[in-house]
Structure 1
Amino acid sequence: MIVFLGVSVMAGALAAGLAIPLAGLGGFVTEKAAVTVQSLPQDLKTEPLAVRSKLVAADGTWIATLYEQNRVPVKLDQISPIMRRAIVAIEDSRYYEHGALDAQGTLRALIRNQTVGSVQQGGSSITQQYVKMSLIEKARTAEERLAATEVSYQRKLAELRYAIAVEKEFSKDEILEKYLNLANFGDGAWGVQAAAQHYFKTTAAKLTLPQAALLAGLVKNPTGYDPTNNLKRAKDRRDLVLRRMRELSLITTKQAADAIKTPVIDRTKMQKVPNGCANSRYPFYCEYVVSKLLDNPALGKTPKERDHYLKTGGLTVQTSIDPRIQAAAQASINEHSRFTDTASAAITVVEPGTGLVKAMVQSKPYGAGRNHTYYNHNVEKSYAGGYGGFQNGSTMKAFVLAAAIQKGLPLNYRINSPQQIDLSGKKFRTCTGWTRDPDYRPQNSTRGGNLTMIDAARYSTNTYFLQLSQRTGLCAPATIAAKLGMYNAQAIAPLDQVVSFTLGVGYVTPLMLSNAYATFAARGKYCRPTVVTAVQDKSRKPIKTPGIGCKQALAPEVADGVNRVLSAVMEPGGTGGRLNFGNWDLAGKTGTIQDNRAVWYAGYTPNLAAAAVVADANLPYTNLMYGHTLDGQDISDPTGSGTAGPLWQTAMRNALKGMPLRRFVPPTTKITRGDVKNLPPVSGLSPEDAANSLRQAGFEVTVADKRVRSSEATGTVAYTDPRTNEGAPQGSLITLYLSRGSN
């Protein structure tokens, strides 16, 4: 036996006896062993330690932890000396005395295994164990994992070859540090620091003797000795470690006895690290952040690689969310809705000039239970959790306003806006031609009349804005909306240029709408919605991230004009007049879609912009007026101001507390009065002559269907809209009203 072992050691085949009975050695020829050894690489290529990552809010507070293995690496001097002695005592007591292979331990294991005829004892050194754990960690397929754990001479020889290389490259202390950070300590704890936090709510540096002994005992069988699985087995194993430490004179008899009397764990002090967005502080927001991270090529070539790196790279992800503003928005949801309501409410708050998403809340909680959902009602459908928005009604009027002001129309631009108009077959210019609706007779739900742009916005007069969009064409407002980040959030496609564009088109989200309105607040500076502001790796080195991205999408003076017009909405008599508060400069717009399937309020100050929606989030969508509840009460009259407005108001009022009072920039005289040119006088001319005169002056012309009473000859032009003395921006649509005589 002794001679054989001596030869085996010299041949490098002894390692095979560590885990295989001696009887199996006879069939393993020296030549095969030599080939196996020579084919192995000289150095062990290890994977970076899988380290948990975390998402934090703008103020650095915790949002979520993401990991495949719950691990927090520490240096050896951050691990208590008693822990280091405990693991060496039970796993490799001669660790600091031998090289990569412990001949005595190997011989002891070999004799024990041969005596009983099966694998009963391993003789692997800590270095060899580290090699094995590293190979298992590196395995990506079932075959690789099997190769890393199979009971064979080849594997043991490979481990020995790698162990020799490791011992040449690293000191004993360095190997021990790697080992303690890599090891599985059971119940989801990887590495000694995470284990100390999990089982004892402490750090590796502060581990006591009985705590260290328990953790040292876990490494051999993390599941079998897990105290949460079998307390008795865990105690027996811990006490074995303590007795071994006493045998080696690492602790006194009294220390061992006192430690053995100590309870294994106090379950009330155990600390489970929540994993994933489902266990996050803000689960919906967290999932949206992760979706954006998975789009970042700096984290990997494919989404799968990025997901792996995100959960193993020890990243710190700084997000945009402001816990104070988030709490304000959540308080509004809590005040004005209940999760048991049949209607759903959602609010997003964005910072103008940065695009930073400061809050994202909804009334339906995260989960699979009744009245819960996994859908985020604030965001687009381009990722798995995105609901894809709702039709947004008259909040689209803001973009027609912007197009009209950009075209040079004055803020006092008047259009006769009766309660109902007939637009059947009327042509509206698009970016690619013309469109029309063969049967379209829209009407107002509010006041009509001969209104200015400011009046029409104040009352949300449909017939005014439809006629205004006929004058601007549909291409201009659609282009502005697109520049401000508006698109169909379900189809992920441009908004349709249809006749009813100004009354709502496609499906948009609270995030999208609040950010678009934030552009007006920022005087035309559009910033893409941003939820990730910075990413650092485990070494605190920055990783490239898209971050804040802004551009001037609208002339500042045009945005100033929009702000002035939408401020009128929140003045007394306006549809948002009841939502005004404090001394803030406020602007906003209501939105109610056809059949009351969704109601909106979007508004802003120079500090913050927010959009609130209340909707039926079930398919098919139904009228909120019938059978739907909000805050436990039947919704009897769903409106943007009365239903969604209070959600917006409460959220914004509380979110703005403590912020500096900032003002909108007043519009210039040119914006207020418009960039107009004189109209040639055409009263009394035939329609053909009048049209030619106006077209030569640079205007477009249409003729009103209904003739008007006038002193001008029948069939000639009675007057124009706009009137001759008002003028109009070049290229504007001029309507000719023909006389029916004075009778």
Structure 2
Amino acid sequence: MAKSGKTRLVADRRRSAPAAKPAATTRKASARRRKAAPKRRGPLGWLIWPFRMLIRVGWALSWRGALVVLAILTAATFYNYARIPDMATLADGRARGSVTLQDRSGETFAWRGDNFGGLVTTDSVSPYLRDAVIASEDKRFYRHIGVSPRGIAGAIRTNLAAGRGPLSGNGGSTITQQVAKLLCLGNDWDQTLGMTEAEFEADCRAGSVWRKMKEIPYALALEAKFSKDEILSIYLNRAYLGAGARGFAAASQRYFGKSVARVNAAEAAMLSGLLPAPSYYAPTNDLQRARDRAATVLRLMRDQGLLTTAEFTQAMETPASLSPAARQDTGGYFADWVMSDAPDFLTSETTEDVIVRTTLDKDIQAAAEGALEWVFEEKVRAGSEAQAAIVVMSADGAVRAMVGGRNLRGGGQFNRATQAVRQTGSSFKPFVYAAALDLGWRFDSTVLDSELAIDVPGSGTYSPSNYTNQFYGEVSLTDALARSLNAATVRLSENVGRDVVRTVAEQFGIRSDLAQGPALALGVSESTLLEMTGAYAGILNGGTSVTPYGLTSLSLRGEDGSLLDHEGGLGERVITEDAARQLVYMMSRVVAAGTGTRAALPGDRPAAGKTGTTQAARDAWFIGFTGDYVAGVWMGYDDNTPLTGVTGGGLPAEIWRETMARVHDGAPVTPLPMIDPPREARPVPQQPQPAPQQQAPARQPDIAERILMDVLGGIFGRN
């Protein structure tokens, strides 16, 4: 069969189409291909690439580091939270207590230690005070969480602009952070730390970076533990505000004499203004400076809407004033002496709040301070650096006033009435005459005032002379004391016996070592003004020794019972009452017609005393008494520079007169406890004869005289 012309159709051989792959697999494959093929970078890409890597590394480290810091901060916050006690415990964190000193009438005149006025809260203080603290210390206090980054940044900027270190000066601390400082991050001071309490507190307030870092978790813990008002209450109770005041309650009483709930806007601003520098802004140091600082706080309160315009104007026109007690600022030397004289564990080292009742009379204290100031202003050349001290006491040794010196160039509180040990000069002579009178001599007995030569082993011949360089022959004991005759006094001392004179002086209260030689009679020994004044008090009270004292009772605040009482300073009898009455009369002649006439008081008020001037006039004294009080005055230079033209009968006598005139102003006249010679004069009894003139060594008493002296010594209790 013939083939047709059509070609045979044959189907093409085709591969079957592969199955579609999943999209995810496709993306991975594409990614692998992109990774395998190096990306081409242009020049700009190569420049940017290192920075991109740094950013990636920095970011990785940052968020990981932030997590670590957050973990540490959280742990530290929880740790501090667990350690923080309750608010009442934190409010009074003093390591020692306070001592409040009251005068004889019960009025407070001085504070020592750390005074705490009791726990207060934001509800129990004046609203003005709360607002003043917020305005001046932390205006965002109620809005932050305990730390203010904005405040810290602003403080750093301010410090750097002022040329200080970033954390030197303004620290930008919130009130919460300041509380953390006050609490010393939960650590308390104790004596085993090897630093004083002041050094410990200074270390707590140090503005180091490490200190700031530790403050943050503690501040956060405080915010977690307490409410804002409780944190502010801790601050109000814990802050130091100068003059020994811890907390605003104590400061309000210290400066204004009123409750912290009653302070007005001006007073609140002054108290708040103390916070940056309590001692510098303390109104007791500089009232005007404290007022200027308070004005700044008032302006802040006005600008923040915490004071109306009317309140601001009134506060500016009537600035805060100190209370009479704070303004008087008297009795500081006396207060320091009482603190040093009382038991340490009840005063300077007390951990309790103590009330000390004292013998101080604020009127007498003011009289003594005023008299000293007046004499130096009116009768001493301008610019003189001479010092003076005054002590006034009752006849039983109760100290009524004490001035320890003049405040020159803000020097320390060196108390020249109690701490300066100086030669006494002729103010020692009454003890020579007291010994003689107690052994039977009389006020009108006579003694020879003439040249005298005494051989002193190891020193040669001792020959005292009088101030006038003249001798007066036979003189009465009264005349010899009134004219302060040296030769007569030494001769009397030698006849009476130096040991007897020394014993009488010691029994009257002179505690310092007394000279062994014949110059003992002329006051070459040293003593303090307080000792000498106390010894003269024994003469006034009839011959009984006294121990000067200033503390009458001591008790704990809030308790009725007394821990310590002092009934008086009277001791043992030293000389007979008759001898004392004769000696008072003899000393009255010193003021009436002797070396102390410039001490005579107005209105014919009777007074008695004795002048004293040491070698080269390095010390000048006048110590005397009326029927009511004994007063002692010392004058000299701290470095022993001789006084120019000053003797005990000069400026010291005038200071004494001005002091006692003010003390007795308007008071009735009290007679001196002394003999009245016209009615009591008797024939002069036989007595030992004085040593012959110009004999060296001095004649020793014969056996009859020694027997007589032994008999008299046995009768009158003398060796």
The two structures have a TM-score, normalised by structure 1, of: 0.60
In 1, distance between residues paired with 2:587 and 2:277? 68
Determine which of 599, 606, 622 is the counterpart of 1:601: 622
CA distance in 1, matches of 2:65, 2:385: 74
Matched, 1:356 2:398: yes
Asked if 1:322 is matched to 2:373, the reply is no
1:499 Cα deviation from its structure 2 partner: 0.9
Task: Tell me, in whole angstroms, the C-alpha distance in 1 between the residues paired with 2:313 and 2:235.
Answer: 23
Spell out the pairing of 1:525-540 with structure 2 (5 A cutoff). Answer: 525-533=544-552, 539=558
Aligned partner (choices 417, 438, 441) of residue 379 of structure 1: 417
TM-aligned CA distance change 1:699 to 1:674, over 3 Å: farther
User: For residues 39 and 533 of structure 1, do their structure 2 counterparts lie closer, same or farther at Cα, with a shift above 3 Å needed?
Assistant: same
Q: 1:187 to 1:331 in 2, by over 3 A?
A: closer
Specify whether residues 348 and 470 from structure 1 end up closer, same or farther in structure 2 by C-alpha distance, changes over 3 A only: same
1:259 aligns with 2:308: yes
1:143 CA drift (Å): 6.7
Partner of 1:297: 343
Q: Distance in 2 between matches of 1:397 and 1:590?
A: 9
Say whether 1:552 aligns with 2:562: no
Name the structure with the higher helix share: 2
Aligned residues: 583
1:443 aligns with 2:487: no
Q: Which residue of 2 aligns with 1:476?
A: 500
The 1:345–1:652 alpha-carbon spacing in structure 2 relative to 1, beyond 3 Å, is: farther
Closer, same or farther: CA 451–129 of 1 in aligned 2, 3 Å? closer
What is the CA distance between 1:552 and its match in structure 2?
2.5
Deviations 1:106-162 (A, max 9, x none): 6x999999xxxx9xxxxx99999977754558654377668986447864686478x
- Secondary structure at the counterpart of residue 500 of structure 1: helix
Residue identity in the other structure for 2:629: L
Give the deviation of 1:314 after TM superposition: 8.3
Q: How far 1:350 moved relative to its partner?
A: 2.2
Q: Do the aligned partners of 1:58 and 1:320 also contact (CA within 8 Å) in 2?
A: yes
Structure 1 residues 451 and 40: alpha-carbon distance in aligned structure 2, compared to 1, 3 A threshold: same
- Contact map agreement 2:240 2:246 (CA 8 A) in 1: yes
Counterpart of 1:340, as a letter, is A
Q: How does 1:397-412 map to 2 (within 5 A)?
A: 397-412=429-444
Query: Residue type matched to 1:348 in 2?
Result: I
Q: Say yes or no: does 1:497 pair with 2:546.
A: no
Distance 1:321 1:696, change over 3 A: closer
Go from structure 1 to structure 2 and tell me whether the alpha carbon gap of 1:662 and 1:85 turns closer, same or farther (over 3 Å shift): closer
Correspondence list, 1:140-539, <5 A: 140=189, 141=200, 150-151=213-214, 155=218, 159=222, 163=225, 178=234, 180-182=236-238, 191=247, 204-206=260-262, 259=308, 263=312, 266=315, 269-271=318-320, 281-282=329-330, 285-287=331-333, 289-294=335-340, 296-299=342-345, 305=349, 318=358, 320-324=360-364, 326-327=366-367, 330-331=370-371, 334-335=374-375, 337-338=379-380, 340=382, 342=384, 344=386, 346=388, 348-361=390-403, 365-368=406-409, 378-381=416-419, 388-418=420-450, 420-425=451-456, 437-444=459-466, 445=468, 448-487=472-511, 493-533=512-552, 539=558
Give the TM-score, by structure 2 length: 0.62
* Cα contact 1:46–1:138 (8 A) shared by 2: no
Please give the secondary structure, in 1, of the residue aligned with 2:465: coil
**Superposition CA RMSD, Å:** 5.9
1:583-602 → structure 2 map (5 Å cutoff): 583-602=604-623
Query: CA 1:109 to 1:127, structure 2 compared with 1: closer, same or farther past 3 Å?
Result: closer
Query: In the alignment, residue 704 of structure 2 is paired with which amino acid?
Result: L
Larger Rg: 2
String of CA shifts for 1:682-711, please: whole Å, max 9, x gaps.
Answer: xxxxxxxx98762784558xxxxxxxxxxx
1:662 matched residue in structure 2: 670
Alignment match, 1:574: 594
1:705-720 pair list within 5 angstroms? none
The answer to whether the 8 Å contact 2:446/2:474 transfers is yes
3-state SS, counterpart of residue 46 of structure 1 = helix
Moved more, 584-593 or 63-72: 63-72
How far, CA to CA, are the matches of 2:103 and 2:240 in structure 1?
30
Query: Retained in 1: the 8 A contact 2:392–2:402?
Result: no
Change (3 A) 1:236 1:187: farther
Q: Measure how far apart 1:26 and its partner are.
A: 4.3
> Cα gap change, 1:178/1:695 in structure 2, threshold over 3 Å: closer, same or farther?
same
**Partner Cα distance (2:599, 2:582) in 1:** 21
- Supply the distance in 2 between the matched residues of 1:549 and 1:215 (Cα, whole angstroms): 42
The one of 78, 90, 96 aligned to 1:46: 90
Counterpart of 2:660 (choices 643, 648, 652) is: 652
Cα drift, residue 453 of structure 1? 2.4
**1:610 lines up with 2:650 in the alignment:** no
Contact 2:394–2:537 (CA<8 Å) still a contact in 1?
A: yes
**Residue type of the alignment partner of 1:565:** M
CA deviation digits over 1:584-633, x for unaligned, max 9? Answer: 44322222333444433322123111223444x164533x4xxx3xxxxx
The one-letter code matched in structure 1 to 2:542 is R
SS at match of 1:323: helix
Q: Which runs of 5+ in 2 are unaligned?
A: 1-62, 157-172, 190-199, 281-289, 689-699
Residue 536 (structure 1) shift: 5.8
Q: Check 1:594–1:188 CA distance in 2 against 1; reply closer, same or farther (3 A cut).
A: closer
Percent identity (aligned): 24
Give the whole-Å Cα distance in 2 for the aligned partners of 1:145 and 1:552. Answer: 55
Partners of 1:453 and 1:216 in 2: CA distance? 67
